[in-house]
Amino acid sequence: MKPAEVGREVFYNLALGICSSCTMVQQLETVPGNVVFGSGYPYRSSGSAVMRKHFERTAQRFLNHELAGAGRFVVEIGSNDGVFLKPISEAAVAHLGVDPSQRAAELAEDEGVEVLVDFFDEDTAGQIRATHGPADVVYAANTLSHLADLSSALRGVDALLADRGVLVFEDRYLGDIVTDTRFDQIYDEHFSFFTVRSAQAAAARHGFELVDVKRLTVHGGSVRYTLARPGVRPQNINVAELLSQERAKGLGDPATMLAFAERVQRVRGRLVRLLRELRESGRQVVGYGATSKSATVTTYCGIGPDLVSCIYDGSPAKHGKLAPGSHIPVRSPKTFSDPYPDYALLFAGNHADEIIAKERAFRKGGGRWILYSPEVRIV
């Protein structure tokens, strides 16, 4: 947020519930999509080298399989800056990105990607089908979890998909969030937290079958789900295997979520204690990654500029602004080294390897990272 906006922030209640029948975990309150996503939405998929490689590889896999052959058509829901669709456009395969964030869409268009600047739902899906014909693949990464009206999106996919087409979506995995106590993954944008069981139930409610699942390491642990119309594709054994792992872990049990909540409270106590001790002993502590996740941590733990003096972040759109809620100033990582602080609290744990490698001179010079998932630790 801009410094002038202090005092005009809107706060929402961040709380999760679990469905007693299908075990889907979702937020209990909705932040309207047009408040979060629009021309000012700052996230850019290409900001991470790891994610760039991930999407290029995923696109290549589709080009070799589902999109091989004449006349294929792919729609991406939440195409952002076009990193996934660019290789598909370069391969001259018919495609359409759908994303309401205009500035991200402009970046995609600059790369030769065709984008419909809009929210994907039942209506837009019908329009796309009418103008472009049926899609062989509908792909969505880190986007179905963002939609408060998942049903409308799945009805839209049903309207859009060719008879033998597939919906492939990937999202952060509740199993990893719970196991690794990654509570910072809970923030306004992340409305649904999928498991294989809840994804399968959502698929079945809309006439689809979950035919494959694959665990991914991106974003701290994700799962890629493949849905098709019933009987069209054989079901991969991975589905039954991951379902049985979920049952063994008690992932659909309310008690598992309550135990998770208790671990989160313990982490809060330890993190705040550590930051206060460091302040009292005169150490300089900064943050790294002005992520949406950081707002969950700072708001829930009551961390402000007195404990974390500033946050370094590589997104130019965030420089000179304040982190919402905590009002901690955001700076360019170009100034991280002048001089290096004693400690950096990593608010982008999902990009830990990439950031720690990029900033290796910080640790070489005696600086230390503070991580808080699954436990508070200094590395």
What CA–CA distance (Å, rounded) separates 246 from 174? Answer: 10
Per CB under 6 A, residues contacting ligand SAH are 33, 37, 41, 43, 45, 51, 77-78, 80, 98-101, 104, 119-120, 141-143, 146-147
Binding mask 281-320 for ligand TYD (x = CB under 6 A): --------xxxxx-------------------xxx-----
Shortest Å, Cβ 47 to ligand TYD: 5
Interaction partner, residue 315 (ligand TYD, ligand SAH, none; CB < 5-8 Å by kind):
ligand TYD
Gap between the terminal Cα atoms of the chain = 30
Q: How far is the CB of 335 from ligand TYD (least distance, A)?
A: 13
Kindly state the number of chain residues that form the binding site for ligand TYD, as judged by CB under 6 A.
Answer: 18
Q: Is the CB of 254 or the CB of 316 nearer to ligand SAH?
A: 316
Rounded Cα–Cα distance for residues 160 and 328 (Å) = 44
Q: Which of residues 323-342 bind ligand TYD (CB under 6 A)?
A: 333
Which residue among 198, 326, 350, 373 contacts ligand TYD (CB under 6 A)?
350
Q: At closest approach, how far in Å is the CB of 173 from ligand SAH?
A: 14
Shortest spacing between CB 22 and ligand SAH, in angstroms: 21
Contacted by 355, from ligand SAH, ligand TYD, none: CB < 5 to 8 Å by type: ligand TYD
CB 23 to ligand SAH: min, Å: 24
Q: Per CB under 6 A, does 67 bind ligand TYD?
A: no
Closest CA to 99 of 113, 85, 114, 79: 79
CA separation for the pair 319, 335 (Å, rounded): 11
Work out whether 348 is an interface residue with ligand TYD (CB under 6 A).
Answer: yes
In the complex with ligand SAH, which residue's Cβ is closer, 95 or 268? 95
The entry of ligand SAH, ligand TYD, none that residue 41 binds, CB within 5 to 8 Å by partner kind: ligand SAH
Min separation Cβ 5 and ligand SAH, Å: 21
65 Cβ contact partners less than 8 Å away, ≥ 6 residues apart:
none
Q: Of 142 and 298, which has the nearer Cβ to ligand SAH?
A: 142
What does the binding site for ligand TYD look like in residue numbers (CB under 6 A)?
43, 47-48, 289-293, 313-315, 333, 348, 350-351, 354-355, 358
